């Protein structure tokens, strides 16, 4: 959940709105629990952000979780909400009678039904790099489920911190039929585990699926289904500036493009990248455009990643490889025997110049 996430870099009102959206997603998960008549509601860590959450969140969680009684609730703290007596979990004391908190770094059993045991483990520090299972094995007969926060070491998303690593094989070796795990923000399923993903994406890099996983156990078999939970999403889109020779036509194209993508402002967050080779005449006021966009479309942004070329100037810039490339390609274009060949050379010219400028090659 990452309740109370700071959303740094955006204005304060935007952050407050995003935090409200996180609570709404949490409440959708609780409603889903009730709608499906689930026997238990499990959270595999990072329910809130310890650095920003306080008393208000403690009371909010206590009230919401008590409201779904007699449905049982199981909480397994992660790296952003490690258990400590002074933590928000500690401030929720006394916990509602339907809530179980796994507040130790060792797996502890809770009996869910005849022949069905849930083993939960909680983190107690923010940077826990020890193995999640560390040789743990379930004891007793019946079906065993696990609940914890950790990293499948074989499927690390780029830039993600390795917290409490595990492998799928360790889960099956421990004798568990399935592990409900948290930490990765996009849905990911292995043979013996599932990350449902964060209920809402928190930033532009989180473009995966954001769900609740619904675990059904019968006759020793575990079935895993996923239900989408997010109401917000991040989108990256490219706009090629090369057809626009003046700033007004580019501005109209930007507005049209954003309007088509951001169909619900405040819930869709678009980063529009301006790419390609700009006409030498193009001189857009990006600073003003960017601030206007942020007003009309909260959380959206405009990124200038285009290059501008004046072919005549480049051709005469001196004894450079780039000047020779432009001269040669232009003379071949003049001598081209068909429109298709000319078109191909024009593309080569554009891509070549983008490469010289170390820009992304965009046609
Ligand atoms: Mn985490």
pLDDT digits (tens, 9 = 90+) for 189-222: 999 999 999 999 999 988 889 999 999 998 879 9
- C-alpha 164 – ligand 1 centre gap (Å): 10
Q: How far is the CA of 144 from the centre of ligand 1 (A)?
A: 23
Distance 76 CA to ligand 1 centre (A): 11
Distance of CA 257 from the midpoint of ligand 1 (Å): 35
CA of 18 to the centre of ligand 1 (A): 19
Residue 340 Cα to ligand 1 midpoint, Å, equals 53
Write down the pTM of the prediction: 0.86
- Dist. CA 33–CA 215, nearest whole Å: 11
Indicate where the chain has its CATH 3.60.21.10 domain(s): 12-228
What is the Å distance from ligand 1's center to 21 Cα? 19
pLDDT, position 9 = 75
- Count of residues for the chain? 363
Are the C-beta atoms of residues 183 and 5 closer than 8 Å to each other? no
Buried b (16+ CB within 10 A) or exposed e, 128-167: beeebbeebebeeeebbbbbbbbbbeeeeeeeeeebbbbb
Residue 183 Cα to ligand 1 midpoint, Å, equals 4
Q: What's the gap in Å between 116 CA and the centre of ligand 1?
A: 27
- Predicted local confidence at residue 362, as pLDDT: 60
CA of residue 182 to ligand 1 center, whole Å: 7
Q: How far is the CA of 80 from the centre of ligand 1 (A)?
A: 6
The pLDDT mean for the chain works out to: 94
Topology given in CATH for the domain delimited by 12-228: Purple Acid Phosphatase; chain A, domain 2 (3.60.21)
Ligand 1 center from residue 127 Cα (angstroms): 10
The reported pLDDT for the residue numbered 47 is: 98
Q: Residues 218-246: pLDDT tens digits?
A: 887 999 999 999 999 999 999 999 999 99
Q: Which residues of the chain have pLDDT under 50?
A: 363
Q: What confidence score (pLDDT) does residue 263 get?
A: 96
- Ligand 1 centroid to Cα of residue 348, in Å, is 46
Cα–ligand 1 centroid distance for 156 (angstroms): 12
CA of 49 to the centre of ligand 1 (A): 10
Count of other CB atoms within 10 angstroms of residue 304:
14
What integer pLDDT is reported at residue 161 of this predicted model? 86
Q: Which of 102, 104, 83, 114 is nearest to 180 (CA)?
A: 102
Residue 249: exposure state from Cβ atoms within 10 A (0-12, 13-18, ≥19): middle
Q: How far is the CA of 4 from the centre of ligand 1 (A)?
A: 14
């Amino acid at each position: 959940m990452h309740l109370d996430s700071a959303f740094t870099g955006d204005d304060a009102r935007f952050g407050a709105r995003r935090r409200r959206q996180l609570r709404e997603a949490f409440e959708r998960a609780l409603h889903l629990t009730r709608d499906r008549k689930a026997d238990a509601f499990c959270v595999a860590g990072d329910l809130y952000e310890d650095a920003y959450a306080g008393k208000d969140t403690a009371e909010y969680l206590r009230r919401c979780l008590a409201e779904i009684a007699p449905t049982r609730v199981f909480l397994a703290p992660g790296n952003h909400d490690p258990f400590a007596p002074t933590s928000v979990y500690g401030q929720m004391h006394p916990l509602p009678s339907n809530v179980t908190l796994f507040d130790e770094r060792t797996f502890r059993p809770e009996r869910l039904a005849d022949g069905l045991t849930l083993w939960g483990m909680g983190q107690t520090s923010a940077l826990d790099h020890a193995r999640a299972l560390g040789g743990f094995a379930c004891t007793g007969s019946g079906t065993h489920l696990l609940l914890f926060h950790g990293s499948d070491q074989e499927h690390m998303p780029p830039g993600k911190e390795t917290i409490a690593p595990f492998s799928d094989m360790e889960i099956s070796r421990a004798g568990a039929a399935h592990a409900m795990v948290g930490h990765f923000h996009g849905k990911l399923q292995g043979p013996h585990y599932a990350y449902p993903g964060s209920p809402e994406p928190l930033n532009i890099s989180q473009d995966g699926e954001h769900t609740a996983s619904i675990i059904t156990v019968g006759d020793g078999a575990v079935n895993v289904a996923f239900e989408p939970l997010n109401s917000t999403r991040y989108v990256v889109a490219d706009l090629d500036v090369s057809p626009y020779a003046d700033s007004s036509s580019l501005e109209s194209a930007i507005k049209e493009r954003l309007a088509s993508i951001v169909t619900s402002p405040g819930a869709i967050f678009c980063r529009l990248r301006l790419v390609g080779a700009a006409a030498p005449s193009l001189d857009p006021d990006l600073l003003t455009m960017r601030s206007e966009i942020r007003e009309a479309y909260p959380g959206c942004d405009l990124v200038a990643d285009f290059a501008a070329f004046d072919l005549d100037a480049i051709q005469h810039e001196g004894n450079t490889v780039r000047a020779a490339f432009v001269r040669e390609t232009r003379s071949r274009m003049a001598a081209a025997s068909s429109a298709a060949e000319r078109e191909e050379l024009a593309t080569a010219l554009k891509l070549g110049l983008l490469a010289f400028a170390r820009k992304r090659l965009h046609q």
